[in-house]
Amino acid sequence: MPKRRVAWLVPPKGIFNYELDMSAFEGLDVQIDKVAVSSPGEAIEAVKGADVVMAMAGAVDAQLIAAMDKAKAICSFGHGFDRIDVEAAAKAGIMVTNTAYICNWEVANHAAAMILGLNRKIVLYDRAMRSGVWDRPAGRPIGPLDGEVAGLIGLGAIGRSLAKRLQPFGLIVKAYDPLAEDWVFREYQVERVFSLEALLGDSDYVSIQVPHNKNTHHMMSEKQFRAMKKSAFFVNCCRGGVHDEKALYRALKEGWIAGAGLDVFEEEPTDPKNPLLSLTNVIATPHAAGESTLSLDWAMKVASHQAAAVLRGDWPNRVVNPEARQHLRKA
């Protein structure tokens, strides 16, 4: 087998100090070029002649894909893949892989922590205490959790993990996911709701965990926030683009809903002057839900094995655009 080349695109400032799992490439004659890219032009030059592109930095748009004259796959290091033009890749005969299942537990933990924090008014109390205010009634009303409803939008790996974490607190878990099969709801003891609006109207806590694409963009907007209870809380630990920030700000400011826990924003890093950050009924974190001592190591390992499978001529097990198969480039 001839020598193959991998173009590994990384951020210019060394944000990710991790290395690929080289054991995945054992037996392959491969050259891995780690390139810190700070501009689209640098990325275009880096991908030319590469058999596989491993993308850790920047957007992989149609222009960059068009420059991939040999690539058979684009391997992402994240669970989400909304920064990659998946359709353009499929048309070019290029597979796109992600690292699904590397951090579903961590994201579920984060979403559960958001729900508990919002319920118990942890951040509200903490801010008051640090400013010298001892005011127990300020957090009222505080729901009991037991018997309340957690409504999950999306029952994939993260949604299922979240359901398992919330049930021991006595929450009744319901979900809306038109793509999930019935056995998933039975297996995880989650009540199926066939209408998003019905789920929103019945839930005390709404957590969304869906991929961001053209079908889910602004899935939560004014109509949906108005459908929620005024006492309900909204949590998003997936992608900022699935909720409309302007509508969410109005919902929180005008009292359509009680509060929100946000790990993601429509533009990241979000502007420190983002109006949502000025609200006392918002808990915010910097897209950190997937963090743990294991998840980033697993991301490197899984991405490496996806790339190696492509170089060996195999079909990787985390392809997100299977329609690319009909246009695959020949070796």
Of 120, 250, 287, 329, which residue is the catalytic one?
287
Instruction: Report, at the CATH architecture level, how domain 104-284 is classified.
Output: 3-Layer(aba) Sandwich (3.40)
**pTM of the entire predicted model:** 0.92
3-state SS, one letter per residue, for the chain: CCCEEEEEEECCCCCCCCCCCHHHHCCCCEEEEEEECCCHHHHHHHHCCCCEEEECCCCECHHHHHCCCCCCEEEECCCCCCCECHHHHHHCCCEEECCCCCCHHHHHHHHHHHHHHHHHCHHHHHHHHHCCCCCHHHHCCCCCCCCCEEEEECCCHHHHHHHHHHHHHCCEEEEECCCCCHHHHHHCCCEECCCHHHHHHHCCEEEECCCCCCCCCCCECHHHHHHCCCCCEEEECCCHHHECHHHHHHHHHCCCCCEEEECCCCCCCCCCCCHHHHCCCEEECCCCCCCCCCHHHHHHHHHHHHHHHHHCCCCCCCECCHHHHHHCCCC
Of 239, 243, 305, 318, which residue is the catalytic one?
239
- The residue extents of the domains of the chain are 4-102+293-327, 104-284
User: Which residue has better confidence, 325 or 50?
Assistant: 50
Name the band, by pLDDT with cuts 50, 70 and 90, for residue 180: very high
Instruction: Report, at the CATH architecture level, how domain 4-102+293-327 is classified.
Output: 3-Layer(aba) Sandwich (3.40)
Task: Give the pLDDT score at 14.
Answer: 59
Task: Give the pLDDT score at 268.
Answer: 93
Q: Is residue 241 a contact partner of residue 218, using CB atoms and an 8 Å limit?
A: yes
Q: Any catalytic annotation for residue 268?
A: yes
Task: Give the pLDDT score at 1.
Answer: 60
Q: Any catalytic annotation for residue 243?
A: no
Q: What is the pLDDT of residues 83-106, one digit of tens each?
A: 999 999 999 999 999 999 999 999
Name the band, by pLDDT with cuts 50, 70 and 90, for residue 328: confident
Name the band, by pLDDT with cuts 50, 70 and 90, for residue 331: low
- Please determine whether the domains at 4-102+293-327 and 104-284 fall in the same fold group of CATH: yes
Tell me: pLDDT of 294 over 60: yes
3-state SS, one letter per residue, for 280-309: CCEEECCCCCCCCCCHHHHHHHHHHHHHHH
Strand order in the sheet with 191-192: 191-192, 172-176, 149-153, 205-208, 233-236, 259-262, 282-284
What span, in angstroms and rounded, lies between the C-alpha atoms of 77 and 268? 17
Of the candidates 324, 323, 320, the one whose C-alpha atom is nearest the C-alpha of residue 72 is: 324
Q: What is the pLDDT of residues 108-150, one digit of tens each?
A: 999 999 999 999 999 999 999 999 999 999 999 999 999 999 9
For tokens 């999306």, name the residue: 154
Rounded to an integer, the average pLDDT of 16-29 is 90
Across the chain, mean pLDDT equals 95
Q: Any catalytic annotation for residue 318?
A: no
Of 187, 267, 268, 323, which residue is the catalytic one?
268
